[in-house]
Structure 1
Amino acid sequence: MQFLVFALTYPIIWLLSLLPMRVLYMISDFFYFLFYYIIGYRKEVVLENLKLAFPEKELSELKSIRKKFFRHFTDIFVESIKAFTISKKEISKRYVYKNPELINDLHKRGKSIAFVGAHQANWEWSISIPLFVDIQCFGAYTRIGNKYFDKTVKDSRMKFGFIGYKTTETIKSMAKNFDNNVQGLYLLLSDQSPQVHKTHYWSEFMGVKVPIHTGAEMLAKKFDMAVVNYSIKKIKRGYFEVTFETITETPRDFEDYKVTDKYLAITERNIHAQPEYYLWSHKRFKHRDKVPKEWQ
């Protein structure tokens, strides 16, 4: 059954990925109209998130941001499809890294890197990072139930040089590399909501007290890695710029959660700059009413 589902659907996805971006954006426009005006997919979730994040804004402005978000949201959908077959030449033209020398300098000085970012603009095309830096790049992946899709998606995300490891084996994989003196850049998206029972830290994100992922900071301290944030700016439809920013080269010098706080501040700054391009469709603030007394 798994193979049948794969055989029936993947050829369609692959053929779509071969289409020029201008055609894919026409498809995106259709899905935007469908999701926003007909289905109303998560419109209330997005508006509620925006109300919590921007209490100072008028309802009319929040609805305008919501509308722009959904236009961007369906673009991300087709851009993710394009990632299956996008060439090095095209992704290099559309996804520009402004200062890769920052990464390469850390590599020359013997540092491994905890590479943190957020679901802002287009994070899917960050698969191209290995094309522009000298250090080996590693990324965790969560297995897909369909083993055929799992292999295909994994191969697609690693076609430009990423080396994958299972999310459940993150620490084990890092430890093996450090034991063998292998420097690495480890991609860690850290802005989504963790499970409450696994939460060690609560803090304000966009003015709302929520549980915070601290795994990147924990790993950086454990393996003495530099912590570098990557910020993605959408220039225009289909074109992005990525800027690297060092949070710290010495994470062990910081009190617990201070590195995480610096990451959150950068993420908030980027959201305020382009609020319509953040992933508002997920329930980032769903645990705001469950704050333990010690974190209130």
Structure 2
Amino acid sequence: MRHEELNVAQRIGLELLWTGARLFAVLPYWFKYYVVENFIFFLLYYCLGYRKRVVETNLRNSFPEKSAAELKRIRRDFYRTLAEIFVDTVNMAHMSEQKARTVLTVKNLEEHTRAVHGRDWIALSAHFGCWEYSSYWGLYEPSQLLVAVYHPLRSPIMEHLYRRLRNSACATAVAMRDSLRFYLRNRAEGIGGKNLVMGLIADQNPPLRPDSHWFRFLNQDTIFFDGGEKLALRCRLPVFFVRMERLRRGRYCMSFERIYDGQEPVAPNEITERYVRKLEAMIRERPELWIWSHRRWKRKRPHADS
């Protein structure tokens, strides 16, 4: 897969950003999470009001049963999450295996390993908490390589920066447009003898198509990416929902819940429906951890659609 080459100025900019990120990552935990994070939260929430109207509208429409005080508390806590995710992400620039096992633990590891039986499988995750930490899954199961499917960024500098953050011995980032081709080309032998885990963040706002299926999600009609379901049915791969639990600042616990075994007969859109229900339940438990600043519902369901 080819990636846009950087010119000299862009390369300099990239290396300056990377050096700064690595220097930041080695700072003490207390300074990163109790000084820098609090400062970023203050800027986002009190000074900039980053996408405040979008956040307020999304929360109000998603939780009409909640009071104004409850929605305000969720909104405030969300901006703290946003600040923390920034720190978490930059923290990945200098991440040893020991440190990675500290920021991410895995629940019921042996049970999940038995469930996949050495097969390739699909992990459906979401923009919930620090989703980037999911790339450390391979540290706990060395026989598997996470293929982190993502949307390329418009900025070539940030695109290269994020690829450095995401790529490691246990994970490789692949653009969504290349993901099916990548899997079909490598599924027979894997990569380095490892089974492939196709990791997809499936809660983004996809392009509206004539055949888009609408789901009732957080009190609103919503469309979802169905690439995970299509890949699962085509290649008979089991599908697992990725549950992220925030333990404290910069610390998460990950677990998996199977939503498709790769063999059972299912109705059209049923696998995606199961994902949507799991995601909605997780968001309702900890709404402040989902990314409310996205314009998730900018596309509306046509009135003639049934």
CA-to-partner distance for each residue in 1:132-190, whole Å, 9 max, x for gaps? Answer: 12323222244455656544432331224113333211111111123447732110110
Q: Is the 8 A contact 2:216 2:222 kept in 1?
A: yes
Report SS of the residue matched to 1:159. Answer: coil
TM-score (norm 2): 0.89
Distance in 1, Cα, partners of 2:59 & 2:188 = 45
CA-to-partner distance for each residue in 1:6-25, whole Å, 9 max, x for gaps? Answer: 24433222211221221112
1:123 equivalent in structure 2: 131
CA-to-partner distance for each residue in 1:185-216, whole Å, 9 max, x for gaps? Answer: 11011011111137621111112002221111
Distance in 2, Cα, partners of 1:40 & 1:116 = 31
Report SS of the residue matched to 1:84. Answer: helix
TM-score (norm 1): 0.91
Q: Structure 2 vs 1, CA of residues 15 and 9 (structure 1 numbering), >3 Å: closer, same or farther? A: same
> Once the two structures are aligned, what percentage of the paired residues are identical?
25
Distance in 1, Cα, partners of 2:184 & 2:279 = 28
Q: 1:224 aligns with which of 236, 242, 247?
A: 236
Residues 1-296 of structure 1 mapped to structure 2, 5 A cutoff: 1-25=9-33, 26-108=35-117, 110-133=118-141, 134-144=143-153, 150-180=159-189, 183-197=195-209, 200-250=212-262, 253-287=265-299, 289-291=300-302, 293-295=304-306
Report SS of the residue matched to 1:153. Answer: helix
1:153 maps to a residue whose letter is Y
Distance in 2, Cα, partners of 1:162 & 1:198 = 34
Distance in 2, Cα, partners of 1:15 & 1:80 = 13
What is the total number of aligned residue pairs between the two structures?
A: 293
1:164 maps to a residue whose letter is A
**Higher mean displacement: 211-220 or 151-160:** 151-160
CA-to-partner distance for each residue in 1:197-240, whole Å, 9 max, x for gaps? Answer: 37621111112002221111111101100001110011222221
Q: Is the 8 A contact 2:135 2:146 kept in 1?
A: no
Distance in 2, Cα, partners of 1:251 & 1:213 = 21
Q: Which runs of 5+ in 1 are unaligned?
A: none
2:244 maps to a residue whose letter is I
Q: Is the 8 A contact 1:66 1:276 kept in 2?
A: yes
Shift of 1:93: 1.9
Shift of 1:76: 0.4
Q: Structure 2 vs 1, CA of residues 53 and 145 (structure 1 numbering), >3 Å: closer, same or farther? A: closer
Report SS of the residue matched to 2:195. Answer: coil
Structure (1 or 2) with the greater helix fraction: 1
Q: Structure 2 vs 1, CA of residues 4 and 164 (structure 1 numbering), >3 Å: closer, same or farther? A: closer
Q: Is the 8 A contact 1:199 1:211 kept in 2?
A: no
Q: Which runs of 5+ in 2 are unaligned?
A: 1-8
CA root-mean-square deviation: 2.0
Shift of 1:88: 1.6
